[in-house]
Copies of this chain bind each other. A is one copy, B any other.
Amino acid sequence: MKLYEYQAKEIFRQYGIPVPEGYVIDKVDDIKKHEESVVLKAQVLVGGRGKAGGIKIASGTDEAKKIASELLGAQIKGVRVKKLLIEKKLDIERELYLSIILDRRNKCPLLMFSEEGGVDIESVDEEKIIKLYIDPLIGIQGFMIRYLLKKCTLEQKKELGRIIKQLYRIFKEKDCELVEINPLVVDRDGKLWAADAKIIVDTDALYRHPEIEENVEESTDLEREAKKMGYALIELDGDIAVIANGAGLTMATLDAITHFGAKPRIFLDLGGTDDPEIVKNAFYLVKKSNPKAVLVNIFGGVTKCDTVAKGIVAALEEYPIDVPMIVRISGVHEDVGRKMLEARGVECHTTMLDAVKRCAEVVVKGGGK
């Protein structure tokens, strides 16, 4: 889960990483008096906010108010701006890059530092990035920092070393996937500042961080509702609502649908369950997604075919859908399940390919019931 810049900077402040003086507003009236230049930064969770006009400089209170009234409520890359972070403008001498990310390959934290900051790190030459792999059993050690400092031309080595240690503490103590300072600014007085702050927290670890608020901006309303109900649902811009059991099988079903020229409306992973209620309630979401067809793809294992069939039958009563529904049902208790469904007039197939082809046909060529 991404944190807003102002939330990330609050954490930086708690850990002693210097951030520019500033405050957050959600209405224009809250702007304070400013004699010097300030930066107004739209608080949205999308990348490329600056280029999209979400960061502006104002030279005094009046200009700040004018810009704030334009930004608040505006859309940045499709997201409405509800809050602004207003900060003292830094007198920038150099821009550096510093981050710690989860390295999946080496199963450990990876620290990256570059003297070329302020730009997308992917656009920086590999040899200009210093990388440090950190063994989670020993954490960050003095020699690692010495090694990094040795390779950098910065004069403020001691302060950089201190910031790195604190950044690692944040990464670990806040269960982060990413902590990033880009740019890490050296001002004309030689002081270091985290001019921007990006933190992504591991969603699965939120239970042990009551101090971190949940941010909802990244999901659609339907996705949030599904999450509350315990389903993994992704909204897409096509026509077919796909329900399957298991993330891999669900993705494979989307891929097959697309292969046959149709487009999916939702990705809905039932997971492993032996409760027909859970199957039934998924159709509440399917109905809400307003699809042109429904494709259910079940390979019965932990989730047995008869459980799924029972759930579908119940859903036919409770959440009747007036678009075509195709069911692929195979695996454990397949026969019982198929009989139950066919008795209610549901179109059943044994192989995924048959079901997907048929469903795509129905949508593309309109060959429904």
Complex CA distance for A137 and B137, rounded to whole angstroms: 7
Task: Fill in one digit per residue for A120-150: 1 if any B CB lies within 8 Å of its CB, else 0.
Answer: 0000000000000000011000000000000
Question: Can you name the residue of chain B whose Cβ is closest to the Cβ of A137?
Answer: B137
Residues from chain B with a CB closer than 8 A to the CB of A138 are 137
Name 2 interchain pairs, CB-CB below 8 A, sorted by A: A137-B137, A137-B138
Complex CA distance for A138 and B137, rounded to whole angstroms: 8
Complex CA distance for A137 and B138, rounded to whole angstroms: 8
Complex CA distance for A211 and B140, rounded to whole angstroms: 26
Q: Which 2 A-B pairs have the closest CB atoms?
A: A137-B137, A137-B138
Minimum C-beta distance from A143 to chain B (A): 18
Question: Can you name the residue of chain B whose Cβ is closest to the Cβ of A138?
Answer: B137
Minimum C-beta distance from A166 to chain B (A): 20
Minimum C-beta distance from A265 to chain B (A): 45
Minimum C-beta distance from A246 to chain B (A): 31
Complex CA distance for A207 and B105, rounded to whole angstroms: 40
Residues from chain B with a CB closer than 8 A to the CB of A137 are 137-138
Complex CA distance for A138 and B136, rounded to whole angstroms: 11
Complex CA distance for A137 and B136, rounded to whole angstroms: 10
Minimum C-beta distance from A324 to chain B (A): 53
Minimum C-beta distance from A135 to chain B (A): 10
Complex CA distance for A231 and B62, rounded to whole angstroms: 74
Minimum C-beta distance from A30 to chain B (A): 42
Minimum C-beta distance from A19 to chain B (A): 30
Complex CA distance for A255 and B72, rounded to whole angstroms: 87
Minimum C-beta distance from A343 to chain B (A): 51
Complex CA distance for A64 and B137, rounded to whole angstroms: 53
Minimum C-beta distance from A268 to chain B (A): 36
Task: Fill in one digit per residue for A96-140: 1 if any B CB lies within 8 Å of its CB, else 0.
Answer: 000000000000000000000000000000000000000001100
Complex CA distance for A218 and B138, rounded to whole angstroms: 36
Complex CA distance for A138 and B138, rounded to whole angstroms: 10
Minimum C-beta distance from A174 to chain B (A): 20
